[in-house]
């Protein structure tokens, strides 16, 4: 693993050094970053910004466009499932959540948050709902809740550089088929509401990716304790807002999650998701 990813690690280290927020030069601990994550989940549940320690000015982007945090949090949601990654080096938090409103609207929400001298922020939020890529929030929660994203024993953890390198190897594969990806077995990929896992020791994430697609402007949140890294990026020529999250165990990929906003193009221009499932029901295996 280390030999395979040495070059990627060097590049990733250089990239990440410039990616850290200027306001986050002071180290954060897990207690602080966990509190930020908890406050965000509470904000989703209560439909208010008042659960968070915000600065006077809040920089909020939704699907990579400037928007209103208050507008997004104007409605209470049931948080059906969520996980949080805590980056104590850059003082950032990533939260992935499956939510449901009282009116029955489901969403899968991916959020990167910083923490500066004056409070929590900036916020980068990718929101998905009906019509976005492979969207089926109920199945997303069903599969994700069966995974283990807990802390890894200290002596078995990958370094920050190794985690970024593993993520970059997977993402670089979309535009360079010569890249060596540290595939793990078993590994399960959760892409929208589609899952490659079957609960078998032979499960794999190496099921193919598009070719000739650049994934650019990557922004990382790294949690060494959980062996995980989240990457926000612009996907392909259309620069779709995209989140990829990776879990690394024993130097290889164990889980991959994707959340992709399609804008005004249903299922990102592919056939309707319901039609895809009807033609290939194995895309959503029953794990019970």
Peptide bond into 122 cis (omega under 30): yes
Q: What is the layout of strands, in order, in the sheet containing 92-101?
A: 65-66, 60-62, 119-128, 106-116, 92-101, 77-87
Delimiting residues of CATH 3.10.450.50 domain(s) in the chain: 2-18+152-278, 21-140
Domain 2-18+152-278 CATH assignment equals 3.10.450.50: yes
Q: What is the DSSP letter of 272?
A: P
Rounded Cα distance between 163 and 251, Å, is 9
Chain centre distance of CA 116? 22
pLDDT at 1: 44
Q: Per-residue b/e over 239-252, b at no fewer than 16 CB within 10 Å?
A: ebbbbbbbbbbebb
pLDDT at 112: 99
Q: CA 247, 252, 257: angle at the middle one, nearest 5? A: 30
The sign of the CA dihedral 56, 57, 62, 64 is negative
pLDDT at 10: 41
Could you read off the pLDDT of 61-89 as tens digits, one per residue? 999 999 999 999 999 999 999 999 999 99
Q: What is the DSSP letter of 25?
A: -
pLDDT at 266: 97
User: Which string of DSSP letters, residue by residue, matches 130-189?
Assistant: TTSTT--HHHHHHHHTTS---PPPGGGPPPHHHHHHHHHHHHHTTT-TT------SS-EE
Rounded Cα distance between 137 and 204, Å, is 22
Rounded Cα distance between 121 and 114, Å, is 5
pLDDT at 23: 41
Which neighbouring-strand residues pair with 245? 230, 257
Q: What is the layout of strands, in order, in the sheet containing 228-235?
A: 194-195, 188-191, 252-260, 240-249, 228-235, 215-223
State which CATH number among 3.40.50.720, 3.60.10.10, 3.10.450.50, 3.30.465.10 fits the domain covering 21-140: 3.10.450.50
0.75 surpassed by pTM: yes
Whole-number CA gyration radius for the chain: 18
Rounded Cα distance between 88 and 110, Å, is 19
Q: List the chain residues with pLDDT less than 70.
A: 1-27
């Amino acid at each position: 693993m280390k030999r395979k990813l040495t070059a990627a690690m060097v590049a990733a280290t250089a990239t990440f050094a410039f990616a850290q927020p200027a306001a986050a030069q002071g180290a954060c601990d897990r207690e602080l970053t966990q509190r930020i994550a908890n406050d965000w989940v509470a904000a989703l549940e209560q439909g208010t910004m008042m659960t968070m320690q915000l600065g006077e000015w809040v920089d909020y982007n939704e699907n990579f466009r400037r928007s209103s945090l208050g507008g997004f949090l104007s409605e209470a949601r049931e948080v059906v499932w969520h996980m949080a990654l805590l980056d104590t080096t850059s003082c950032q938090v990533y939260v992935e959540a499956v939510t449901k409103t009282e009116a029955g609207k489901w969403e899968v929400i991916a959020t990167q948050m910083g923490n500066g001298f004056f409070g929590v922020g900036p916020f980068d939020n990718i929101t998905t709902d009906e019509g976005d890529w492979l969207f089926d929030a109920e199945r997303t929660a069903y599969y994700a809740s069966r995974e283990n994203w807990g802390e890894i024993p200290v002596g078995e953890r990958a370094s920050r550089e190794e985690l970024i390198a593993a993520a970059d190897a997977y993402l670089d594969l979309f535009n360079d088929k010569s890249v060596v990806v540290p595939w793990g077995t078993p590994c399960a990929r959760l892409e929208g509401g589609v899952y490659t896992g079957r609960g078998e020791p032979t499960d794999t994430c190496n099921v193919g990716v598009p070719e000739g697609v650049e994934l650019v402007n990557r922004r990382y949140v790294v949690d060494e304790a959980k062996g995980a890294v989240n990457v926000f990026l612009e996907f392909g020529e259309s620069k779709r807002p995209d989140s990829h999250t990776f879990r690394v165990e024993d130097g290889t990929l164990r889980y991959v999650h994707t959340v992709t906003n399609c804008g005004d193009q249903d299922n990102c221009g592919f056939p309707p998701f319901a039609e895809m499932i009807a033609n290939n029901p194995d895309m959503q295996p029953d794990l019970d």
